[in-house]
Amino acid sequence: MNKVVANAAEACKGIQDGMTLMVGGFGLCGIPESSIAELVKLGVKDITCISNNAGVDDFGLGLLLQGKQIKKMISSYVGENDEFERQMLSGELQVELIPQGTLAERCRATGAGIPAFYTPAGFGTEVAEGKETREFSGKMHVLEKAFDPDFAIVKAWKGDTNGNLIFKATARNFNPMMAMAGKITIAEVEELVPAGHLDPNAIHTAGIFVQRIFQGEGYEKRIEQLTVRTKN
Amino acid sequence: MALDKNGIAQRIAQELRDGWYVNLGIGIPTLVANYIPEGIEVEFQSENGILGMGPFPFEGEEDADLINAGKQTITAMEGAVYFDSATSFAMIRGKHVQLTVLGAMEVSEKGDIANWKIPGKMVKGMGGAMDLVASADNIIVAMMHANKKGKSKLLKECTLPLTGVGCVKKIVTNLAVLDVLPEGGFKLCERAPGVMVEEIQAVTEGRLVVEGDVPEMQFGLESVS
Protein backbone atom coordinates (compact mmCIF):
# COMPACT_ATOMS: atom_id res chain seq x y z
CA MET A 1 0.00 0.00 0.00
CA ASN A 2 1.51 3.27 -1.05
CA LYS A 3 1.97 5.69 1.87
CA VAL A 4 4.14 8.23 0.12
CA VAL A 5 3.42 11.94 0.40
CA ALA A 6 5.39 14.60 -1.44
CA ASN A 7 7.00 16.43 1.44
CA ALA A 8 6.75 17.60 5.03
CA ALA A 9 3.94 20.03 4.20
CA GLU A 10 1.79 17.20 2.80
CA ALA A 11 2.72 14.94 5.70
CA CYS A 12 1.76 17.48 8.37
CA LYS A 13 -1.66 18.24 6.90
CA GLY A 14 -4.32 18.10 9.58
CA ILE A 15 -2.08 19.00 12.48
CA GLN A 16 -3.97 21.70 14.36
CA ASP A 17 -3.76 23.88 17.43
CA GLY A 18 -4.25 22.02 20.69
CA MET A 19 -3.31 18.58 19.38
CA THR A 20 -1.13 16.01 21.10
CA LEU A 21 1.95 15.00 19.15
CA MET A 22 4.51 12.30 19.80
CA VAL A 23 7.91 13.20 18.44
CA GLY A 24 10.66 10.59 18.16
CA GLY A 25 14.31 10.98 19.07
CA PHE A 26 16.69 10.92 22.02
CA GLY A 27 18.35 14.26 22.50
CA LEU A 28 18.98 15.42 18.95
CA CYS A 29 19.57 11.86 17.75
CA GLY A 30 16.89 10.47 15.45
CA ILE A 31 14.61 13.52 15.51
CA PRO A 32 12.27 14.32 12.58
CA GLU A 33 14.03 17.50 11.50
CA SER A 34 11.97 18.14 8.37
CA SER A 35 8.63 17.77 10.15
CA ILE A 36 9.73 19.98 13.04
CA ALA A 37 10.70 22.67 10.52
CA GLU A 38 7.27 22.31 8.95
CA LEU A 39 5.51 22.65 12.33
CA VAL A 40 7.46 25.87 12.89
CA LYS A 41 6.27 27.11 9.48
CA LEU A 42 2.66 26.08 10.19
CA GLY A 43 2.77 27.94 13.49
CA VAL A 44 0.42 25.49 15.20
CA LYS A 45 -0.01 26.43 18.86
CA ASP A 46 -0.96 24.89 22.20
CA ILE A 47 0.66 21.61 21.30
CA THR A 48 1.05 18.87 23.89
CA CYS A 49 4.30 17.23 22.99
CA ILE A 50 5.35 13.75 24.08
CA SER A 51 9.07 13.38 23.48
CA ASN A 52 11.93 12.08 25.60
CA ASN A 53 13.69 15.46 25.48
CA ALA A 54 12.92 19.01 24.42
CA GLY A 55 15.79 19.70 22.05
CA VAL A 56 18.28 22.52 22.57
CA ASP A 57 17.63 26.26 22.36
CA ASP A 58 17.99 26.56 18.61
CA PHE A 59 17.43 23.05 17.30
CA GLY A 60 14.98 20.19 17.51
CA LEU A 61 11.89 20.84 19.61
CA GLY A 62 13.64 23.93 20.95
CA LEU A 63 12.52 25.59 17.72
CA LEU A 64 8.86 25.04 18.67
CA LEU A 65 9.56 26.34 22.16
CA GLN A 66 11.06 29.52 20.71
CA GLY A 67 7.78 30.18 18.93
CA LYS A 68 5.83 29.34 22.10
CA GLN A 69 3.99 26.65 20.16
CA ILE A 70 4.14 24.07 22.94
CA LYS A 71 1.67 24.20 25.82
CA LYS A 72 2.80 21.08 27.58
CA MET A 73 5.88 18.86 27.41
CA ILE A 74 5.82 15.23 28.54
CA SER A 75 9.43 14.05 28.77
CA SER A 76 11.94 12.19 30.91
CA TYR A 77 14.82 14.67 30.71
CA VAL A 78 14.76 18.33 29.69
CA GLY A 79 18.16 19.80 30.59
CA GLU A 80 20.40 21.85 28.31
CA ASN A 81 17.71 24.25 27.13
CA ASP A 82 17.58 27.83 28.49
CA GLU A 83 14.35 28.84 26.78
CA PHE A 84 12.66 25.72 28.13
CA GLU A 85 13.83 26.64 31.62
CA ARG A 86 12.59 30.20 31.28
CA GLN A 87 9.12 29.15 30.07
CA MET A 88 8.86 26.44 32.71
CA LEU A 89 9.84 28.73 35.61
CA SER A 90 7.52 31.49 34.38
CA GLY A 91 4.63 29.04 34.18
CA GLU A 92 4.10 29.50 30.42
CA LEU A 93 4.96 25.87 29.81
CA GLN A 94 3.49 22.88 31.61
CA VAL A 95 5.93 20.04 32.14
CA GLU A 96 5.28 16.45 33.12
CA LEU A 97 8.42 14.47 33.84
CA ILE A 98 8.15 10.70 33.80
CA PRO A 99 10.71 7.89 34.00
CA GLN A 100 12.25 7.07 30.64
CA GLY A 101 11.31 3.39 30.68
CA THR A 102 7.77 4.29 31.67
CA LEU A 103 7.63 6.77 28.80
CA ALA A 104 8.82 4.13 26.33
CA GLU A 105 6.38 1.52 27.60
CA ARG A 106 3.47 3.98 27.65
CA CYS A 107 4.19 4.70 23.98
CA ARG A 108 4.38 0.98 23.23
CA ALA A 109 1.18 0.28 25.19
CA THR A 110 -0.61 3.01 23.25
CA GLY A 111 0.09 1.29 19.96
CA ALA A 112 -0.36 -2.23 21.29
CA GLY A 113 -3.90 -1.80 22.62
CA ILE A 114 -2.90 -2.02 26.28
CA PRO A 115 -4.68 0.69 28.29
CA ALA A 116 -2.41 0.51 31.33
CA PHE A 117 0.34 -1.55 32.96
CA TYR A 118 2.17 -1.87 36.25
CA THR A 119 5.82 -0.91 36.57
CA PRO A 120 8.10 -0.75 39.62
CA ALA A 121 9.64 2.52 38.40
CA GLY A 122 8.80 5.52 40.52
CA PHE A 123 7.15 3.71 43.41
CA GLY A 124 7.60 5.72 46.61
CA THR A 125 8.48 8.85 44.64
CA GLU A 126 6.43 11.85 43.54
CA VAL A 127 5.93 10.14 40.17
CA ALA A 128 3.57 7.70 41.88
CA GLU A 129 1.47 10.39 43.59
CA GLY A 130 -2.21 9.99 42.74
CA LYS A 131 -1.63 6.75 40.88
CA GLU A 132 -2.89 3.28 41.78
CA THR A 133 -0.26 1.03 43.30
CA ARG A 134 -0.29 -2.69 43.78
CA GLU A 135 1.95 -5.43 45.13
CA PHE A 136 3.12 -8.24 42.88
CA SER A 137 5.52 -10.91 44.22
CA GLY A 138 6.28 -8.83 47.28
CA LYS A 139 7.23 -5.72 45.35
CA MET A 140 5.22 -2.54 44.87
CA HIS A 141 4.29 -1.28 41.41
CA VAL A 142 2.65 1.81 39.93
CA LEU A 143 -0.18 1.76 37.38
CA GLU A 144 0.79 3.74 34.29
CA LYS A 145 -1.55 4.50 31.42
CA ALA A 146 -1.26 4.61 27.64
CA PHE A 147 -1.26 7.96 25.82
CA ASP A 148 -3.80 9.27 23.33
CA PRO A 149 -1.83 11.16 20.68
CA ASP A 150 -3.32 12.62 17.53
CA PHE A 151 -0.16 12.33 15.46
CA ALA A 152 3.15 10.55 15.91
CA ILE A 153 6.13 11.90 13.99
CA VAL A 154 9.15 9.67 13.61
CA LYS A 155 12.45 9.67 11.76
CA ALA A 156 14.01 6.62 10.13
CA TRP A 157 17.16 5.97 8.13
CA LYS A 158 15.55 4.09 5.28
CA GLY A 159 11.96 3.53 4.38
CA ASP A 160 10.00 2.09 1.50
CA THR A 161 6.84 3.25 -0.23
CA ASN A 162 4.80 0.81 1.92
CA GLY A 163 5.93 2.64 5.05
CA ASN A 164 8.34 -0.06 6.24
CA LEU A 165 11.16 1.49 8.25
CA ILE A 166 14.76 0.77 9.17
CA PHE A 167 16.52 2.86 11.79
CA LYS A 168 20.22 3.47 12.16
CA ALA A 169 22.20 2.80 15.34
CA THR A 170 20.90 4.61 18.44
CA ALA A 171 18.73 6.91 16.30
CA ARG A 172 16.12 4.15 16.72
CA ASN A 173 15.34 4.97 20.38
CA PHE A 174 11.67 6.01 20.80
CA ASN A 175 10.80 6.05 17.11
CA PRO A 176 9.45 2.47 16.73
CA MET A 177 7.06 2.70 19.70
CA MET A 178 5.85 6.14 18.74
CA ALA A 179 5.28 4.93 15.18
CA MET A 180 2.91 2.32 16.61
CA ALA A 181 1.09 4.85 18.75
CA GLY A 182 -0.08 7.58 16.38
CA LYS A 183 -3.63 7.73 15.08
CA ILE A 184 -1.77 9.12 12.12
CA THR A 185 1.94 8.34 12.00
CA ILE A 186 4.23 10.43 9.86
CA ALA A 187 7.59 8.90 9.02
CA GLU A 188 10.34 10.96 7.46
CA VAL A 189 13.33 9.06 6.11
CA GLU A 190 16.77 9.86 4.82
CA GLU A 191 16.33 7.47 1.94
CA LEU A 192 13.00 6.42 0.43
CA VAL A 193 13.05 3.35 -1.81
CA PRO A 194 10.37 1.44 -3.75
CA ALA A 195 8.60 -1.40 -1.93
CA GLY A 196 10.63 -4.56 -2.35
CA HIS A 197 13.97 -2.84 -2.07
CA LEU A 198 14.35 -3.38 1.67
CA ASP A 199 15.14 -6.83 3.07
CA PRO A 200 11.98 -7.88 4.95
CA ASN A 201 14.23 -9.53 7.55
CA ALA A 202 15.86 -6.23 8.35
CA ILE A 203 12.77 -4.03 8.76
CA HIS A 204 12.30 -2.63 12.29
CA THR A 205 8.87 -1.02 11.94
CA ALA A 206 6.19 -2.57 9.77
CA GLY A 207 4.42 -0.27 7.34
CA ILE A 208 1.05 -1.03 8.94
CA PHE A 209 1.96 1.49 11.64
CA VAL A 210 2.81 4.26 9.18
CA GLN A 211 0.21 6.36 7.35
CA ARG A 212 2.44 8.91 5.62
CA ILE A 213 6.04 8.64 4.53
CA PHE A 214 8.34 11.08 2.78
CA GLN A 215 12.00 11.66 2.14
CA GLY A 216 13.24 14.50 4.28
CA GLU A 217 15.92 16.87 3.13
CA GLY A 218 18.90 18.77 4.41
CA TYR A 219 19.46 16.70 7.53
CA GLU A 220 21.77 18.59 9.83
CA LYS A 221 22.04 15.78 12.41
CA ARG A 222 23.52 18.06 14.99
CA ILE A 223 25.66 16.46 17.70
CA GLU A 224 24.77 17.59 21.21
CA GLN A 225 27.87 16.37 23.07
CA LEU A 226 30.84 15.79 20.82
CA THR A 227 33.21 13.47 22.66
CA VAL A 228 36.30 12.08 20.95
CA ARG A 229 39.64 10.53 21.79
CA THR A 230 42.88 11.37 20.05
CA LYS A 231 44.95 8.90 18.10
CA ASN A 232 48.43 8.30 19.45
CA MET B 1 44.25 10.06 51.10
CA ALA B 2 40.78 10.46 49.72
CA LEU B 3 40.25 9.05 46.24
CA ASP B 4 39.57 11.19 43.21
CA LYS B 5 36.82 10.32 40.73
CA ASN B 6 39.08 7.94 38.85
CA GLY B 7 39.97 6.17 42.08
CA ILE B 8 36.28 5.67 42.89
CA ALA B 9 35.73 4.26 39.40
CA GLN B 10 38.75 1.99 39.74
CA ARG B 11 37.47 0.55 43.02
CA ILE B 12 34.01 -0.04 41.56
CA ALA B 13 35.57 -1.80 38.57
CA GLN B 14 36.79 -4.47 41.00
CA GLU B 15 33.13 -5.42 41.51
CA LEU B 16 32.74 -6.35 37.83
CA ARG B 17 32.43 -10.06 37.07
CA ASP B 18 33.02 -11.98 33.89
CA GLY B 19 29.96 -12.18 31.65
CA TRP B 20 28.07 -9.29 33.21
CA TYR B 21 25.97 -6.75 31.36
CA VAL B 22 26.48 -3.39 33.04
CA ASN B 23 24.71 -0.03 32.86
CA LEU B 24 26.88 2.94 33.76
CA GLY B 25 25.32 6.29 34.64
CA ILE B 26 26.64 9.72 33.74
CA GLY B 27 29.67 11.15 35.57
CA ILE B 28 31.92 9.01 37.77
CA PRO B 29 30.15 5.76 36.70
CA THR B 30 31.20 6.33 33.07
CA LEU B 31 34.85 6.18 34.19
CA VAL B 32 34.41 2.59 35.41
CA ALA B 33 34.75 1.43 31.78
CA ASN B 34 38.40 2.55 31.87
CA TYR B 35 39.33 0.03 34.59
CA ILE B 36 37.87 -3.32 33.55
CA PRO B 37 40.04 -5.93 35.31
CA GLU B 38 42.17 -8.05 33.00
CA GLY B 39 40.81 -11.40 31.96
CA ILE B 40 37.14 -10.58 32.31
CA GLU B 41 34.60 -9.66 29.70
CA VAL B 42 31.70 -7.30 30.37
CA GLU B 43 29.32 -5.53 28.01
CA PHE B 44 28.07 -2.03 28.61
CA GLN B 45 24.43 -1.17 28.06
CA SER B 46 23.33 2.39 27.45
CA GLU B 47 19.61 2.86 27.94
CA ASN B 48 19.09 4.88 24.78
CA GLY B 49 19.54 1.64 22.88
CA ILE B 50 22.93 -0.06 22.64
CA LEU B 51 24.54 -3.12 24.15
CA GLY B 52 28.26 -3.36 23.53
CA MET B 53 29.08 0.32 23.88
CA GLY B 54 32.69 1.13 23.03
CA PRO B 55 34.98 4.10 23.76
CA PHE B 56 34.61 7.59 22.33
CA PRO B 57 35.31 7.76 18.58
CA PHE B 58 38.53 9.12 17.16
CA GLU B 59 38.28 12.74 16.10
CA GLY B 60 36.51 12.99 12.76
CA GLU B 61 34.95 9.52 13.07
CA GLU B 62 32.00 10.59 15.22
CA ASP B 63 28.51 9.57 14.08
CA ALA B 64 25.52 11.71 15.07
CA ASP B 65 23.37 8.57 15.03
CA LEU B 66 25.53 6.81 17.60
CA ILE B 67 25.39 8.28 21.09
CA ASN B 68 25.09 7.13 24.71
CA ALA B 69 22.46 8.09 27.27
CA GLY B 70 24.52 11.18 28.14
CA LYS B 71 24.13 12.20 24.47
CA GLN B 72 27.88 11.81 23.96
CA THR B 73 29.24 10.40 20.71
CA ILE B 74 30.46 6.82 21.20
CA THR B 75 31.49 3.77 19.21
CA ALA B 76 30.11 0.24 19.12
CA MET B 77 32.22 -2.81 19.97
CA GLU B 78 32.33 -5.85 17.72
CA GLY B 79 29.19 -7.84 18.41
CA ALA B 80 27.23 -4.81 19.58
CA VAL B 81 23.48 -4.52 19.08
CA TYR B 82 21.05 -1.62 18.82
CA PHE B 83 17.45 -1.68 19.98
CA ASP B 84 14.54 0.61 20.77
CA SER B 85 13.86 2.27 24.12
CA ALA B 86 11.10 -0.15 25.14
CA THR B 87 13.41 -3.12 24.58
CA SER B 88 16.17 -1.32 26.42
CA PHE B 89 14.04 -0.87 29.52
CA ALA B 90 12.78 -4.44 29.21
CA MET B 91 16.43 -5.43 29.68
CA ILE B 92 16.61 -3.17 32.72
CA ARG B 93 13.26 -3.91 34.41
CA GLY B 94 13.50 -7.56 33.44
CA LYS B 95 16.77 -7.86 35.40
CA HIS B 96 18.85 -8.90 32.40
CA VAL B 97 21.41 -6.26 33.33
CA GLN B 98 23.58 -7.54 36.20
CA LEU B 99 24.95 -4.28 37.55
CA THR B 100 23.91 -0.65 37.56
CA VAL B 101 26.35 2.04 38.65
CA LEU B 102 24.98 5.51 39.15
CA GLY B 103 25.64 8.75 40.93
CA ALA B 104 23.56 10.24 43.73
CA MET B 105 22.97 13.49 45.56
CA GLU B 106 21.86 11.64 48.71
CA VAL B 107 21.54 8.07 49.95
CA SER B 108 19.71 7.14 53.15
CA GLU B 109 20.69 4.42 55.61
CA LYS B 110 17.64 2.50 54.37
CA GLY B 111 18.95 2.47 50.81
CA ASP B 112 16.72 5.26 49.49
CA ILE B 113 18.34 7.32 46.78
CA ALA B 114 17.78 10.90 45.59
CA ASN B 115 19.53 12.00 42.43
CA TRP B 116 17.14 13.81 40.11
CA LYS B 117 15.65 16.94 41.54
CA ILE B 118 16.49 19.90 43.76
CA PRO B 119 13.26 21.77 44.55
CA GLY B 120 13.44 25.45 43.74
CA LYS B 121 16.18 24.88 41.20
CA MET B 122 15.85 23.93 37.54
CA VAL B 123 14.42 20.46 37.28
CA LYS B 124 16.00 18.49 34.49
CA GLY B 125 14.20 15.21 34.92
CA MET B 126 14.96 11.69 36.03
CA GLY B 127 15.78 10.20 32.64
CA GLY B 128 16.14 6.46 33.13
CA ALA B 129 17.26 6.61 36.76
CA MET B 130 13.91 5.67 38.33
CA ASP B 131 13.53 2.62 36.09
CA LEU B 132 17.10 1.58 36.82
CA VAL B 133 16.94 1.85 40.61
CA ALA B 134 13.47 0.31 40.87
CA SER B 135 14.48 -2.80 38.98
CA ALA B 136 18.15 -3.63 39.38
CA ASP B 137 19.11 -6.11 42.11
CA ASN B 138 22.67 -4.91 42.11
CA ILE B 139 23.08 -1.15 42.33
CA ILE B 140 26.32 0.55 43.26
CA VAL B 141 26.24 4.25 43.98
CA ALA B 142 29.38 6.17 43.02
CA MET B 143 29.64 9.56 44.68
CA MET B 144 31.65 11.88 46.86
CA HIS B 145 31.05 11.23 50.56
CA ALA B 146 30.14 14.86 51.24
CA ASN B 147 28.87 17.64 48.99
CA LYS B 148 30.87 20.72 48.05
CA LYS B 149 29.83 22.45 51.28
CA GLY B 150 31.18 19.51 53.29
CA LYS B 151 27.72 18.21 54.19
CA SER B 152 27.24 14.45 54.36
CA LYS B 153 25.48 12.71 51.46
CA LEU B 154 24.98 9.53 53.52
CA LEU B 155 21.94 10.42 55.58
CA LYS B 156 19.39 9.02 58.01
CA GLU B 157 16.66 10.19 55.65
CA CYS B 158 16.97 11.76 52.22
CA THR B 159 15.90 15.40 52.19
CA LEU B 160 15.55 15.67 48.40
CA PRO B 161 12.76 14.11 46.31
CA LEU B 162 13.41 10.39 46.00
CA THR B 163 14.44 8.50 42.89
CA GLY B 164 13.85 5.11 44.47
CA VAL B 165 13.07 3.49 47.80
CA GLY B 166 15.24 0.91 49.59
CA CYS B 167 17.20 0.02 46.49
CA VAL B 168 20.86 0.87 47.12
CA LYS B 169 22.99 -1.98 48.51
CA LYS B 170 26.52 -0.68 48.03
CA ILE B 171 28.16 2.76 47.95
CA VAL B 172 31.69 3.64 46.90
CA THR B 173 32.79 7.14 47.85
CA ASN B 174 36.07 9.03 47.82
CA LEU B 175 36.52 7.86 51.43
CA ALA B 176 35.00 4.41 51.77
CA VAL B 177 33.16 1.34 50.53
CA LEU B 178 29.92 0.86 52.45
CA ASP B 179 27.11 -1.70 52.37
CA VAL B 180 23.55 -0.68 53.20
CA LEU B 181 22.39 -3.14 55.86
CA PRO B 182 18.95 -4.79 55.48
CA GLU B 183 18.00 -3.47 58.94
CA GLY B 184 19.28 0.00 58.05
CA GLY B 185 22.67 1.63 58.47
CA PHE B 186 25.88 1.96 56.50
CA LYS B 187 28.34 -0.84 57.19
CA LEU B 188 31.89 0.40 56.70
CA CYS B 189 33.58 -2.26 54.56
CA GLU B 190 36.75 -0.54 53.37
CA ARG B 191 38.56 2.74 53.84
CA ALA B 192 40.33 4.72 51.13
CA PRO B 193 44.11 4.38 51.58
CA GLY B 194 45.22 6.36 54.61
CA VAL B 195 41.74 7.57 55.55
CA MET B 196 40.85 7.00 59.22
CA VAL B 197 37.53 5.66 60.47
CA GLU B 198 37.04 8.91 62.40
CA GLU B 199 37.27 10.97 59.22
CA ILE B 200 34.58 8.82 57.62
CA GLN B 201 32.41 8.98 60.73
CA ALA B 202 32.67 12.78 60.72
CA VAL B 203 31.02 13.07 57.30
CA THR B 204 28.49 10.24 57.68
CA GLU B 205 25.22 11.59 59.08
CA GLY B 206 23.39 8.26 58.91
CA ARG B 207 24.19 5.36 61.22
CA LEU B 208 27.71 4.09 60.49
CA VAL B 209 28.37 0.49 61.54
CA VAL B 210 32.03 -0.26 62.21
CA GLU B 211 32.96 -3.84 63.10
CA GLY B 212 36.55 -4.68 64.03
CA ASP B 213 39.45 -3.49 61.92
CA VAL B 214 38.25 -1.99 58.67
CA PRO B 215 40.69 -2.78 55.85
CA GLU B 216 41.99 -0.29 53.32
CA MET B 217 40.93 -0.56 49.69
CA GLN B 218 43.43 -2.57 47.65
CA PHE B 219 44.37 -1.42 44.20
CA GLY B 220 46.79 -4.20 43.27
CA LEU B 221 49.84 -3.13 41.35
CA GLU B 222 48.28 -0.25 39.46
CA SER B 223 48.40 3.09 41.21
CA VAL B 224 45.47 5.32 41.96
CA SER B 225 45.77 8.08 39.42
CATH of residue A61: 3.40.1080.10
> A158 near A182, Cβ under 8 Å?
no
**3-state SS, one letter per residue, for B188-214:** EEEECCCCCHHHHHHCCCCCEECCCCC
Give the angle B46-B52-B57 at the CA atoms, nearest 5°: 85
Say how many domains are in chain A: 1
pLDDT tens, position by position, A144-158:
999 999 999 999 999
CA dihedral over B91, B92, B95, B97, signed as positive or negative: positive
Task: Give the minimum alpha-carbon distance from B215 to chain A in angstroms, rounded to a whole number.
Answer: 35
At residue B221, the pLDDT reads 55
Q: Confidence band (pLDDT; 50, 70, 90) for A93?
A: very high
Residue A164 lies in a domain: yes
Q: Which of B47, B85, B91, B122 to mutate to test the interface with A (most CBs of A within 10 A)?
A: B85
Contacts of A199 (CB under 8 A, 6+ apart): none
- The pLDDT tens digits for A113-147 are 999 999 999 999 999 999 999 999 999 999 999 99
Confirm whether A203 is domain-assigned: yes
Whether residue A1 lies inside any domain: the answer is no
Query: Which amino acid belongs to residue A143?
Result: L
DSSP letters along A153-180, please? EEEEEEEETT--EE--GGG-TTHHHHHH
Closest by CA to A206, choosing from A219, A187, A183, is: A187
Distance separating alpha carbons of residues B90 and A168, to the nearest angstrom: 20
Condensed to tens digits (0 to 9), the pLDDT of residues A33-44 reads: 999 999 999 999
Average pLDDT over chain A, rounded to whole?
97
Tens of each residue's pLDDT in chain B, 225 residues: 899 999 999 999 999 999 999 999 988 999 999 999 999 999 999 999 999 999 999 999 999 999 999 999 999 999 999 999 999 999 999 999 999 999 999 999 999 999 999 988 878 899 999 999 999 889 999 999 999 999 999 999 999 999 999 999 999 999 999 999 999 999 999 999 999 999 999 999 999 999 999 999 999 755 444
What confidence score (pLDDT) does residue B225 get? 43
Tell me the torsion sign for CA atoms B84, B89, B91, B92: positive
**A58 and A176 in contact (C-beta within 8 Å)?**
no
Q: Which of B129, B98, B108 is nearest to B180 (CA)?
A: B108
Query: What pLDDT shows up at residue B223?
Result: 44
Instruction: Specify if A224 maps to a domain.
Output: no
Q: Which residues of A touch B165 (CB under 8 A)?
A: 123-125
CB within 8 Å: B165 and A125: yes
What confidence score (pLDDT) does residue A206 get? 98
Q: Which of B15, B38, B43, B47 is catalytic?
A: B47
Backbone angles phi, psi at A205, to 5 degrees: -120, 125
**pLDDT range class, residue A7, cuts 50, 70, 90:** very high
Query: Which residues have a Cβ under 8 Å from the Cβ of B143 and sit 6 or more positions away?
Result: B8, B28, B103, B104, B105, B107, B153, B171, B173
> For domain B5-223, is the CATH number 3.20.20.100?
no
For residue A220, being part of any structural domain is answered with: no
- The reply to whether A57 falls in a domain is yes
**pLDDT given at position B173:** 98
pTM higher than 0.80, yes or no?
A: yes
Of B49, B62, B126, the CB nearest to A228: B62
pLDDT digits (tens, 9 = 90+) for A44-83: 999 999 999 999 999 999 999 999 999 999 999 998 888 9
Distance from CA of residue B178 to its chain's centroid? 13
How much is the ipTM here?
Answer: 0.97
Residue type (1 letter), A94: Q
CB B51 within 8 A of CB B45: yes
Contact A15, A39 (CB under 8 A): yes
Quick check: is A162 in a domain? yes
Domain housing A126: 8-215
Strands A139-145 and A116-119, sheet pairing: antiparallel
Mutate which: B131, B135, B159, vs A, most A CBs within 10 A: B131
Average pLDDT over residues A224-232: 89
